[in-house]
Structure 1
């Protein structure tokens, strides 16, 4: 009989966040944990086989085997490229400085 471990699966939107705690068999993958957690009932837009995930903010692959106490984080797609946003802010700041 296999042992179970405690893990968490989390996902959030600006207006709603969900953290689910569950027990899974040792040897369970991140993708399996997402399916077992039932988080898709809260967020139907999550596709477990395509999710971008991490464990405690460290990017991970869906086939990664979870360990006792892991927190699986499901990430939302970026709306804007962070590098492009920094570039735009720098350009705006330069324009403001030039007009003073």
Structure 2
């Protein structure tokens, strides 16, 4: 589990590199815009499958269910995976005919 030990007893562990993916997460009570961090060789789905009970979301903006009224804004929120209805990468958002996202 531990990669290296220093002479003074410090323990060094392997750093896991991840890339941020901007997402929209729908729950029964809210719509969350934020970032999920995914390993470079994985897909967003792989990160969701790896997660046990909670999914870490950074730079989160939590809106009401319709996504219109901002309720909270925070640097980190842990989202209960059991309450996630769907997750959408923001890069996949398309504008509708009215010009809204």
Which bracket does the TM-score occupy, shorter chain normalised?
0.3 to 0.5
**Larger helix share, 1 or 2:** 1
Question: How high is the TM-score relative to the length of structure 1?
Answer: 0.33
Q: Which has the higher contact order (CA 8 A, sep 6+)?
A: 1
**Larger strand share, 1 or 2:** 2
